[in-house]
Amino acid sequence: MTEIRPGSPCWAQLSARDLPAAQRFYGELFGWTAETDPDPQYGGYTTFSHDGVPAAAVAPLMNPQQPVMWLMSFAAADVDRTCVAAKAAGAQVWMEPMEVGDLGRWALLSDPTGAPFAVWQARRFDGFGVVDEPNAFGWTDLSTRDKDAALAFYTGVFGWRVWPDDSYPMVGLGERMFGGVMAMDASVPPEVPSHWNPFFLVADVDAAAATASRLGAEVLHGPVDVEMENGPRIAVIRDPQGATFGVFAPRADS
């Protein structure tokens, strides 16, 4: 893949109660292999690989109250400066910048609308070794209760460009789009917080959704063709432990 630019998605990490079960589910769904770090200081942190390069990770919950969820990380040239800017823009810093061995420097935040995310300053580990290929990360969606506030925050802190749209503005850096922002309406239960969801590219959305269902997941939305020019076919899935993510593929007629 090309170099990960500051401000762009650089990693997707699942927090799960049952690591072996998560490894089996995503291994069968995406063909990922799992390698657990033997160093006890990392608490069983496990990297998923796709064709031998890092694709995502799964880690144990930090505490019993933490939800099972996917966490997006965004690259930063300087995590400390990014946290200062994010706090000034209304973010909450839950875990201050810290060293992760010789791999990089990391911090955990939530944006002004409540969506958790992390920032990562790479040293020995850059993050994704593959994107935009089948069974690898390719897109991320923010679901939020204040779309305008979210866009103002991320454009101010990360310098994102916005491709305006009343219902679904898309975001990216330069000419490369990598995500979109959706407003959660009244149909979403009030206890559901703003959140980021990774989307993984697959060869066949319907087949992936069927496999996920067979493995004990719930298909929350789709498979369906997105009603926009060159829109992909997508499905949103809740894995057997409760984490949501998406799969997508270009439509055959696009």
Domain borders along the chain are: 9-122, 136-249
Fold match flag (9-122 vs 136-249): yes
Domain 9-122 has CATH 1.20.1080.10: no
What pLDDT, in 10s, does the model give residues 31-48?
A: 999 999 887 777 789 999
> What percentage of the chain reaches a pLDDT higher than 90?
82
**What is the arithmetic mean of pLDDT over 213-241?**
92
CATH topology of domain 136-249: 2,3-Dihydroxybiphenyl 1,2-Dioxygenase; domain 1 (3.10.180)
Q: How is residue 216 written in tokens?
A: 């004990």
Q: Which 3 state secondary structure label does DSSP give 24?
A: helix
Mean pLDDT of the chain: 93
At 253, the pLDDT band (50, 70, 90 cuts) reads: low
Residue 105 confidence (pLDDT) above 70: yes
Report pTM.
0.94
Of 90, 188, 181, residue with least CA distance to 143: 181
Instruction: State pLDDT tens for residues 172-223.
Output: 999 999 999 999 888 888 888 899 999 999 999 999 999 999 999 999 998 9
Residue 120 near residue 83 (C-beta atoms within 8 A): no
Instruction: Count the Cβ atoms, other than its own, within 10 Å of residue 208.
Output: 24
E-only strand ranges, 148-232? 161-163, 170-173, 176-183, 195-201, 218-225
